């Protein structure tokens, strides 16, 4: 489990990343409820409770590690994660400029930001969550769907 959560080496299947993301969402909901009960933070406010904040910070590295391994399963470098982050940040800039400097309405600026950020995020979602990984071993490791079969095949080479 530690290797799964903290190492960027190897590959993970679609099932593994789906289960990881569902677990993170489920745990986030539990912490939001605990924040509500123990600290009185409202679910509809912009404030984040202390437990939710701690969990969010603690889940950053595992999220990066699992995402990198999913890119590896697709045969892509883990550095693609940086590319998608840069695209999302770069896409937010025109909307911010439109709202702050040009004085256009917030609706226009938010629309630009949403379109600019949504397109790379949808592209990343399709690559990581929908498309299957490469069959057989690749330069990042054996196929996570058949690791035993790959080891056996290497034994007989």
Residue 6 lies in a domain: no
Residue 96 lies in a domain: yes
The total domain count for the chain is: 2
Kindly report whether the global pTM for this prediction surpasses the value 0.75: yes
Say if residues 99 and 156 touch (Cβ distance below 8 Å). no
Are 89 and 130 within one domain? Answer: yes
Are 50 and 94 within one domain? Answer: no
pLDDT at 131 over 90: yes
Q: Give the end of a domain, one of 58, 89, 110.
A: 58
Residue 86 lies in a domain: yes
Are 86 and 50 within one domain? Answer: no
Encode pLDDT of 92-107 as tens digits: 777 667 666 766 556 6
Q: Provide the residue range defining the domain that includes 49.
A: 14-58
3-state secondary structure of 134: coil
pLDDT at 157 over 70: no
Q: For residue 43, what are its two tokens?
A: 């679910």
């Amino acid at each position: 489990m530690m290797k799964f959560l903290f190492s960027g080496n190897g590959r993970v299947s679609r099932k593994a990343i789906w289960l990881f993301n569902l677990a993170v969402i489920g745990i986030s909901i539990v912490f939001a409820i605990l924040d509500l009960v123990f600290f009185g933070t409202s679910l509809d406010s912009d404030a984040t409770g202390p437990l939710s904040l701690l969990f969010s910070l603690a889940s950053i590295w595992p999220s990066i590690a699992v995402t990198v391994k999913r890119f590896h399963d697709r045969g892509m470098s883990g550095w693609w994660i940086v590319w998608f982050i840069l695209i999302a940040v770069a896409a937010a800039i025109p909307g911010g400029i439109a709202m702050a400097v040009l004085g256009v309405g917030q609706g226009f600026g938010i629309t630009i930001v949403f379109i600019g950020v949504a397109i790379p995020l949808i592209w990343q979602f399709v690559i990581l969550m929908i498309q299957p990984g490469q069959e057989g071993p690749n330069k990042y490791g054996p196929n996570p769907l058949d690791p035993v079969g790959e080891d056996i095949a290497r034994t007989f080479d």
